[in-house]
Copies of this chain bind each other. A is one copy, B any other.
Amino acid sequence: MCQLLGMNCATPTDINFSFRGFSQRAGITSDHSDGFGIAFFEDKACRLFVDNQSAVESPIADFIRDYPIKSRNVIAHIRKATQGKINLENSHPFVRELWGRQWIFAHNGDLHQFNPTLTGRFQPVGDTDSELAFCYLLDQLAQRFRQGHPTLQQIFDVLKEIAPKIAEHGTFNFFLSNGQALFSYATTKLHWIVREYPFKHARLIDLDMDIDFSTVTTSEDRVAVITTEPLTNNEIWQAFAPGEMILFKDGKILQQVLTTVQRLEMEKKDPSLVRKTKADPD
């Protein structure tokens, strides 16, 4: 399985503190060492850094830890391959353009017998079920909103309908962002925290490092951090309920809903959905 880290902020903020703790899990405090990726939005543009080396050993991850890229929407992923190849095209986050905006997606989980019909507009480059789920989500959005970019509320309403259906096939914790906001969904495990004025002190779990956020922020700042496992041990992190979808915008919750996730029983599975081969699940 993999781990996810997301950040959504009111003002452009660097993710260095959180990424330092998170990336320790890529071989030091945990064993998610089969590649990593991180995407930073700057307005509509997106910078994506991926590597098939671990976030502990990768020179690119080293560079990211030291270079404070300020962004309002960030998605990071560290990978532990359970099946499938450890190569660059299977590294999360994945990126596609839709309606003149970049969209980024990362997934933690394992989808079984998931074989949706795609129109061909978005096709996986690698062979993960994660990228296939991303292409399916965008395909559905593109088909339902042919006239152009819908509102965040409209997107949320479609996602809360589709995500539980994909989750019938397995664990489906994911982040999706178009640079305006961050959509998050958990079927098993995600945690979130919002840091805002008055900012306090935080201490990482995975590294002997702490920060007094009040010395590096202003009253305008507000930051939501969402991650698989809490990153600090002196703050209160909220756990997502199974099936919970949360839309973060400007560092706070804009929409929140609890969906019903039902796992498909084997006998109910449609044979046409069964994939003959299955690569890296997350």
Q: Cβ of A197 < 8 Å from any Cβ of B?
A: no
Judge whether B102 and A125 touch: CB under 8 Å.
yes
Q: Beyond A47-B88, A60-B63, A121-B121: 9 further Cβ-contacts under 8 Å?
A: A43-B89, A44-B89, A45-B87, A45-B125, A47-B50, A48-B48, A97-B125, A99-B123, A102-B125
Evaluate whether A43 and B88 lie within 8 angstroms (CB atoms) in the complex, with A59-B67, A63-B63 already known: yes
For chain A, the count of residues having a C-beta within 8 Å of the partner chain is 31
A62 and chain B: residue at smallest CB distance: B63
Interface centre among A47, A91, A146 (most CB of B within 10 A): A47
Chain A residues close to B by CB (< 8 Å): 42-45, 47-50, 59-60, 63, 67, 87-89, 91, 95-97, 99-102, 120-126, 146
Q: Which residues of B contact A49 (CB under 8 A)?
A: 47, 49
A102 and chain B: residue at smallest CB distance: B125
Q: Which residues of B contact A99 (CB under 8 A)?
A: 123
Judge whether A88 and B42 touch: CB under 8 Å.
yes
What is the distance, in angstroms, from A89's C-beta to the closest C-beta of chain B?
A: 4
Judge whether B126 and A89 touch: CB under 8 Å.
no
Evaluate whether A100 and B88 lie within 8 angstroms (CB atoms) in the complex, with A47-B50, A50-B47, A63-B63 already known: no
Q: Which residues of B contact A87 (CB under 8 A)?
A: 42-43, 45
What are 12 A-B contacts defined by CB distance under 8 Å?
A43-B88, A45-B87, A45-B88, A45-B89, A45-B126, A47-B49, A47-B88, A97-B125, A99-B123, A102-B125, A120-B146, A121-B121
Judge whether B121 and A100 touch: CB under 8 Å.
no
A146 and chain B: residue at smallest CB distance: B120
What is the distance, in angstroms, from A45's C-beta to the closest C-beta of chain B?
A: 4
What is the distance, in angstroms, from A47's C-beta to the closest C-beta of chain B?
A: 7
Which 9 A-B residue pairings sit nearest by Cβ, starting from the closest?
Answer: A45-B88, A45-B89, A100-B123, A42-B88, A44-B89, A63-B63, A44-B125, A59-B67, A100-B125
